[in-house]
Chain A
């Protein structure tokens, strides 16, 4: 009884705070904000002690020791604490209501993760409270070619469409190795070997080439004025694969072993598409120079290993060794748990291989944003970028850094000091 009434009291507090906030004209919507007195970790141009960030219309308008902001701007005093860009998780499966794998065929490029997106999933909130502001929600790895990803902003409490990252480029998930083998081999279907894996992938891409030729021939006929030309059937699946070949989709590949990375690189050359990133990429350190030469990034774990045979050669120096060979490295979560503390995972690269503070931070911000294809809009504290920012209690690249406030597009979405969940847009009980 006592506990129940305490909870109701907490709910009332949140409700009261929100009502007061809207009464004073601070209802959701863009307005000018200045964050003052922060150690600004810009990621691209060093740290600024006692720095300020001026936010206008949801974007960073000025960064420096002093900024010119109108007197009407809302002031947030960071109290000397660290300010970083919002964390970008370049490999996540949260908020998909467990609809991660359409494991009914090894080739399902027409699956749209947006159709599975559950914008009310509390995992979005818990990641937000850990400083994550953007995530790439990917199809799982049961299929050689899975579905197309959705990019979200962690505006917990906003509507579904408000949470979609506007105009983010479209990514598609490929996989390789043990997972497709296990899923389909377990049913006595192809693929059950790595040979089968790649054959299934190649066959799908060949079909897409045929499909494109059919359409090209038809379009040519129409162009010539052939009124009898009959249009080929529209095929969602082949259309999606054609988009891979047309370079319209960014290819994100779940992959472990170095030999498979080389095969995927060869396959991409065979069909003329580019690979954006290898995900997990536990053995990237073995072939890092070739990844760098092909401008393939990695979205890696910091130190996971041994959970399956193809993870046996994982080493915690993978990120830094690959980075030193010129590979763009991101640390990602692939986990509802780890996405809540990616800052600590990034910090481990400072220990394993001596990444600098900025290099480590880049792995969960700018480099991750590049993999997602939104590095022109998020991932660093630079003028013109979205004001997705985290004020940290404690040094972020340590065991002790905890987000105090998280802003997305200049608005506070999480504030640790608030009672209840600490959310500003989401009300408990809704």
Chain B
């Protein structure tokens, strides 16, 4: 039945396309030099009339025009009057997990059969060909965290992606880079009428369930360690090997987090949710960053004392009934004043492109401009462990570079060209094609 949606491609054509695409590695062919632009390096200030050279997918030189030698054979692009800045990083999105919000079959956002689902991997649902990705990329967002939706306490593991590439394999820079632990109140979905209630229906229940999950994982680890020891003994003594314990995917998924090797993204809104979640995380010595905390203004000093970064907001979260209109708008500034490292996230898929607007708006409520820019570049790169590759215009880093006609944080600014790994990505998307089709 024709329902107005694209017809599926014939299988043969799909196979041919896969063959072609898999041979197109996403690499830069020849050096490119952006000349004459205003460079917002993020890490070492602003360079007026600067030159930035990209070669082999990396930034190879950044500096004043007088100080940089453009390699011979480079394609020189005159970007006089333009602003050049590092690709922006969105610290929480659902890119690749949704296409049309209201159409259930196009959504792979969260598995709701249980609250404890650490063995869900967003990387395995990530749809590289999503029409949403070029739309976001067109506005200079080059990297993003893909997170499952927040309805579970432990909904599964995040991925860190690059918004260009020939396939999901190329775009998924880090699989399972972090794991959300949600304590926002939204997980209390079983809190219904008494007759239909099932465990866990309260915050106590969620906490107990979570605690049990981590205890199970600790036991699981001990059981395997015990097995490995007995097995080694058996081999040494030339005796029959013991039977291996059954594998438990949930517990296995939790181990790197229990061992502090990976980051938990701890989401809470209110002070009591936040402090409960933090005490749980500390009970199991988890390494964590905070997420949201839009209604934790009364305990910001406590938040600062935790000495962890915060993914803040979104600042568009409505204040509580009795609060001043700008209570959440000013949260980034309040955190910054207390020395907290902050990053922004769109918490979106369709509106990822508007990530920089939020950073700009936060400056109107006291956040210094440089900090706002850092919050969508270098700070994010640091939190996600990729600061050696992303988040600033520095030689040696991946050449994810944006050329725009002005201030990256202003809604009016138009992005003219995005480079990902030094390659100029086509500045088009589904929306541009529709515009052009109906402009003829």
List the interface of chain A (C-beta within 8 A of B): 3, 122, 125-126, 129-130, 178, 285-286, 303-309, 311-317, 321, 336-337, 340-341, 344, 347-348, 350-351, 393-394, 397-402, 420-422, 428
Beyond A394-B364, A400-B360, A420-B324, whether A307 also contacts B101 by CB under 8 A is yes
Within 8 A of A (CB), among B108-163: 131-132
Contact partner, A285, options B100, B365, B413, B438, Cβ 8 Å: B438
Beyond A3-B298, A336-B318, whether A348 also contacts B411 by CB under 8 A is yes
Q: How far is the CB of A37 from chain B (nearest CB, A)?
A: 21
**In the complex, chain A residues whose CB is within 8 Å of the CB of B325:** 125-126, 129-130, 340, 421-422
Cβ contact within 8 Å between B357 and A399: yes
Beyond A126-B318, A399-B357, whether A321 also contacts B435 by CB under 8 A is yes
Cβ contact within 8 Å between A313 and B361: no
Cβ contact within 8 Å between B412 and A350: yes
Beyond A399-B364, A400-B363, whether A421 also contacts B324 by CB under 8 A is yes
Residue on B nearest A2 in the bound complex, by CB = B298
Cβ contact within 8 Å between A401 and B364: yes
Chain A interface, DSSP helix/strand/loop, else mixed: loop
Contact partner, B438, options A122, A178, A286, A401, Cβ 8 Å: A286
**In the complex, chain A residues whose CB is within 8 Å of the CB of B237:** none
CA distance A96 to B102 in the complex (A): 24
Residue on B nearest A394 in the bound complex, by CB = B364
**In the complex, chain A residues whose CB is within 8 Å of the CB of B412:** 347-348, 350-351, 397-398
CA distance A297 to B395 in the complex (A): 52
**In the complex, chain A residues whose CB is within 8 Å of the CB of B224:** none
Residue on B nearest A338 in the bound complex, by CB = B316
Cβ contact within 8 Å between B361 and A344: yes
24 contacts between A and B (CB under 8 A): A129-B325, A303-B351, A303-B353, A306-B99, A307-B100, A307-B102, A307-B350, A308-B103, A311-B100, A316-B431, A317-B431, A317-B435, A321-B435, A321-B439, A340-B325, A347-B412, A348-B411, A351-B412, A398-B410, A398-B411, A399-B356, A399-B357, A402-B364, A421-B324
List the interface of chain B (C-beta within 8 A of A): 4-5, 99-103, 131-132, 298, 316, 318-319, 321-322, 324-326, 349-351, 353-354, 356-357, 360-361, 363-365, 409-414, 431-432, 434-435, 438-439
CA distance A422 to B103 in the complex (A): 42
Lowest 5 A-B CB distances belong to which pairs? A399-B360, A308-B102, A129-B325, A315-B431, A307-B101
CA distance A321 to B413 in the complex (A): 19
**In the complex, chain B residues whose CB is within 8 Å of the CB of A122:** 321
Q: How far is the CB of A348 from chain B (nearest CB, A)?
A: 5
Residue on A nearest B101 in the bound complex, by CB = A307
CA distance A309 to B6 in the complex (A): 12
Cβ contact within 8 Å between B361 and A341: yes
CA distance A316 to B353 in the complex (A): 11
CA distance A341 to B410 in the complex (A): 13
Residue on B nearest A315 in the bound complex, by CB = B431
CA distance A336 to B325 in the complex (A): 12
Beyond A309-B100, A309-B103, whether A399 also contacts B410 by CB under 8 A is yes
Q: How far is the CB of B413 from chain A (nearest CB, A)?
A: 7
Q: How far is the CB of A194 from chain B (nearest CB, A)?
A: 11
Q: How far is the CB of B149 from chain A (nearest CB, A)?
A: 15
Cβ contact within 8 Å between A308 and B324: no
Beyond A306-B99, A312-B100, A315-B431, whether A337 also contacts B410 by CB under 8 A is no
Residue on B nearest A340 in the bound complex, by CB = B325
CA distance A350 to B406 in the complex (A): 13
Residue on B nearest A419 in the bound complex, by CB = B324
CA distance A122 to B319 in the complex (A): 10
**In the complex, chain A residues whose CB is within 8 Å of the CB of B101:** 306-308
